Amino acid sequence: MDELNASLVALGERVLVAVLVIIVALVALRLGRGAIRRTTAAMAARAEAEAPADAREEARKRLATVETLARYAWLVFVTVVASLTVLSQLGVDVGPAVTGLGIAGIAIGFGAQQIVRDYFGGTLILLENQYAKGDVVTLVGVTGIVEEFTLRRTVLRDTDGIVHNVPNGAIVVASNRTRIWRRINQDVVIAYGHDVEQAIAVLDDVGQRLAADPAWRERILEVPRVDRVDRLGDQGVTLKILGTVRAADHLAVAGELRRRLAAAMASSGLDPRPAAPPAPPDPAPPAH
């Protein structure tokens, strides 16, 4: 009877310790998340104070990605440690589990090289700040917004709403389309016969008016203007318009610029099409 009571007491103590371990793990998760949040908030405040205005949004997105990954890593670490401790207290031999983790690590190293490559690639992407959640990027031929980023994969959603899962190990070239600023690069064809200098003045005026518009001036970093006569083609003279805008506003500004260019060309008579050749004269009537 005494042995039974002693066993029950020992079991109760083990269960109590296991419960305490679970409580400590939950508290550690909460405290860890708070510490991570405060750390990233402090880093964000420092970036707001020190980074140039154009780089602040980029810093915020990067810190949001770092916070997500740090919270995930802390969750995995605390869960694994707490689970092994609870199992040990309940009398389960965790030695094989620990050995199994070592064997699994070896198996991953030799048999699952692609997974290792994915995690290694994700680590480099994060450390080098190639892109972050919310950026518009082109990866392995797919262009879309980064909806999720982990060390193993990047999730993109393209303009058709299709979700693409890209393993980080498969990424050779990452093209970030929303990194601080982008270039306006617009070609305008003017038919031969028009005054090129007059055409340049009309197009430059469109860019200046757009940059002066209160609804658009905050998005424009460099006024779009005619940079050069780019080429002489079969359809006419091609003028190259260049400018710089905030990366996130590139599509909106480019669309508005094209709309205003079309209206200005129509009102000023700058027909982009070559003039039609004169009609041949009517044949002379046959002589009688």
Residue 209 and residue 258 share a domain: yes
Residue 164 scores a pLDDT above 60: yes
Total residues belonging to the chain: 288
The pLDDT value recorded for residue 102 is 63
Say what the pTM is: 0.56
- Among 20-24, 195-199, 225-229, 250-254, whose mean pLDDT is lowest? 20-24
Residue 104 and residue 31 share a domain: yes
In a domain, 35, yes or no: yes
Residue 72 scores a pLDDT above 90: no
Residue 196 and residue 245 share a domain: yes
How many other β-carbons are positioned within 10 Å of the β-carbon of residue 218? 9
Residue 100 scores a pLDDT above 70: no
Residue 152 and residue 244 share a domain: no
The pLDDT value recorded for residue 179 is 79
The pLDDT tens digits of the residues spanning 207-244 come to: 999 999 999 999 999 999 999 999 998 888 999 999 99
In a domain, 128, yes or no: no
Residue 203 scores a pLDDT above 90: yes
CA proximity to 186, closest of 260, 99, 120, 77: 260
The pLDDT mean for the chain works out to 81
| Spatial distance between the Cα atoms of 189 and 202, rounded to a whole number of angstroms | 13
Residue 34 and residue 59 share a domain: yes
The pLDDT tens digits of the residues spanning 166-196 come to: 999 999 999 998 878 889 999 999 988 888 9
Owning domain of residue 208? 181-268
Alpha-carbon separation of residue 115 from 110, 154, 163 (angstroms):
10, 13, 21
Residue 140 and residue 58 share a domain: no
Residue 23 and residue 102 share a domain: yes
The pLDDT tens digits of the residues spanning 116-162 come to: 788 888 888 887 888 888 888 999 999 999 988 888 899 999 988 99
In a domain, 122, yes or no: no
Domain count, the chain: 3
Residue 34 and residue 71 share a domain: yes
Residue 201 scores a pLDDT above 70: yes
Residue 245 and residue 162 share a domain: no
Which of 160, 176, 192 corresponds to the end of one domain?
Answer: 176
Place of tokens 């197009």: 203
| Spatial distance between the Cα atoms of 222 and 252, rounded to a whole number of angstroms | 15
Q: Which of the pair, 65 or 185, is modelled with greater confidence? A: 185
Residue 189 and residue 172 share a domain: no
| Spatial distance between the Cα atoms of 36 and 4, rounded to a whole number of angstroms | 47
Residue 277 scores a pLDDT above 70: no
Residue 44 and residue 95 share a domain: yes
Residue 185 and residue 162 share a domain: no
In a domain, 126, yes or no: no
**CATH code for position 76:** 1.10.287
**CATH code for position 165:** 2.30.30.60
